[in-house]
Amino acid sequence: MKTMKVTFQVNSDKVTLQVKPYETLLETLRERLALTGAKEACGMGSCGACTVVVDGIPMRSCLVLTPEVNGAVITTVEGLKQDDRLHPLQEAFMEKGAVQCGFCTSGMIMTAKALLDRNKKPTKKEIITTISSNICRCTGYKKIVEAVEAAAKRT
C-alpha cells in the first residue's frame, strides 16, 4: 500500500516521515522515532498509557492515525525535560513515590501536564477527575494525585 508524507513537530524536532495510512501515532513514535515513553497497554483507548499531548490536548496515541496529526505539535514525556532540569511533574512523581511498576507513569504525567497547562491551580477534585482518565494497575492513585498537587504548587 502507498505510504503518505506527514510532517509534524515532536518535542523540539520537526520531522517529516513516510508513514502507512493505517499507522497509529503510537506506532510512529515508538517504532520510527524511538520515543518509547508512550506505552501500549490495552491498545483500545481504555487505559491511557499511550497518552501524548497533541496541540495542547492529551490524546490516546493508540487511537490516533499518524496522518491525522499532519502539521501538529506533539509533546511526549521525553520532551518535558528542559536543559538538564526535569519537569516539576517528573520531580514530584519521583519525590512522592508515585511510580510503582512505571508502565502508566508517562501517560499519567502527560495527562497531568495538559491539565496544569490549562489550569495552573487545579483543586484536588479536578486533579482526580483528570487523572481518572488513566488506569494504574498497581492502584497507586493516592500518591499520583499527591504528586500532581505538589507539582501544581511548584509551577
Q: Which CA distances in Å does 128 have to 71, 79, 112, 120, 134? A: 32, 24, 10, 15, 10
DSSP structural state of residue 87: P
The residue within the footprint of another protein, chosen from 31, 132, 137, 155 (CB under 8 A), is 132
CB of 44 to another protein, least distance (A): 5
Q: Does 46 bind another protein (CB under 8 A)?
A: yes
Q: Which of residues 48-77 bind another protein (CB under 8 A)?
A: 48, 51, 57-60, 62-65, 67-68
What are the DSSP E strand ranges found in 4-155?
4-10, 13-19, 51-54, 57-60, 73-75
Our CB check for another protein shows the closer of 46 and 123 to be 46
The residue within the footprint of another protein, chosen from 5, 7, 18, 22 (CB under 8 A), is 22
Q: Does 34 bind another protein (CB under 8 A)?
A: no
The C-alpha atoms of residue 150 and residue 155 are separated, in whole angstroms, by 9
Q: Does 86 bind another protein (CB under 8 A)?
A: no
30 φ/ψ angles, rounded to the nearest 5 degrees: -75, -45
List residues binding another protein (CB under 8 A).
1-2, 4, 20-24, 27, 43-46, 48, 51, 57-60, 62-65, 67-68, 111, 129-130, 132-134
